[in-house]
Amino acid sequence: MVTYLYAVLTVKAATLEETIQDTAIHLVTVNSECSGTVVSPSVILTARHCMGVPVTSIEIGGPDRICKHFGKVIKAKNADLALITVLNCGALPVAPIAASAMHRGDKFELIGLSYDVGWALSQGFVMSSDLQDIRYHKDPATYHVIALACMGCDEGDSGAGVFNLQGELEGVFVASSENNVRTYMVPLAVVKAFLQGNHV
């Protein structure tokens, strides 16, 4: 069993946005695009629903670094999370994992793939730190998530890391409500359990 938790940020950056961008992933599959975050020098964390078809390529931190060789994919059983091992791409810059979870009103940032503008910064705040149960269309699983208010988040941001203002990973962006009034992330506790090998 491999543990990816508590990795150390390996690339220093001048701003919070640059720090997040360094570890951000643009993930391309056969018929869709998603986002993700590097959580180990060769491992990417993303949303499970992005893994319905094989990955064809990823951009790491921007279009200058593209990887096309992948190994094992691990999918969570009851959480919208997945891990992808990247092969032959060198050591990747790693996002630090937060020690404690955000609370209602706390601000966050994420960088993901916005279909109309490419790599895009989105910002928002935690609407409630209470877990909610949601179920996706045509998906029998029930997922435990936290509601967010996110300005600029869209479909391509699925799988993007949600970061606190210290640049620490707090969760994974996974869904929007039908009217886009609220969005959702897999919370820190579930992410940590998954990264520790408890494939929730």
Interval 40-81: pLDDT, tens: 999 999 999 888 778 888 888 877 888 999 999 999 988 999
Architecture of domain 16-86: Beta Barrel (2.40)
Residue 4: the pLDDT is 38
Cβ-contact 35, 112 below 8 angstroms: yes
**What value does the mean pLDDT of the chain take?**
84
Distance CA 119, CA 82 (A): 21
Closest CA to 55 of 33, 76, 80, 22: 33
Residue 3 near residue 40, CB atoms below 8 Å: no
- For 72-98, the pLDDT digits (tens) are 999 998 899 999 999 988 888 999 999
pLDDT digits (tens, 9 = 90+) for 117-161: 678 889 999 999 899 888 887 777 788 899 999 888 887 899 999
Residue type, 99: A
In the three-class reduction of DSSP (H, G, I as helix; E, B as strand; rest coil), residue 107 is classed as: strand
The two structure tokens encoding residue 159: 């799988």
User: Strand 70-75 relative to strand 169-176: parallel, antiparallel, unpaired?
Assistant: unpaired
192 sits in which H/E element: helix 188-195
3-state SS class at 39:
strand
Question: For residue 5, what pLDDT band results from cuts at 50, 70 and 90?
Answer: very low
Residue type, 83: L
Decide: helix, strand or coil at residue 68.
coil
Angstrom distance (rounded) from CA 200 to CA 182? 24
In the chain, what are the domain boundaries?
16-86, 107-195
Note whether 16-86 and 107-195 share their fold: yes
pLDDT band at 110 (very low <50, low <70, confident <90, very high): very high
Report CA-CA distances (Å) from 35 to 1, 22, 99, 113.
25, 13, 23, 6
Mean pLDDT score, 158-165: 95
3-state secondary structure of 189: helix
pTM over 0.85: yes
pLDDT, greater one: 69 or 29: 69
Residue 76: what pLDDT? 93
9 — pLDDT class (breaks 50, 70, 90): very low
CATH architecture of the domain formed by 107-195: Beta Barrel (2.40)
Q: Residue 198: pLDDT band by 50, 70, 90 thresholds?
A: low
pLDDT digits (tens, 9 = 90+) for 185-194: 999 999 999 9
Task: Report how far residue 156's alpha carbon sits from residue 148's, in angstroms, rounded to the nearest whole number.
Answer: 16
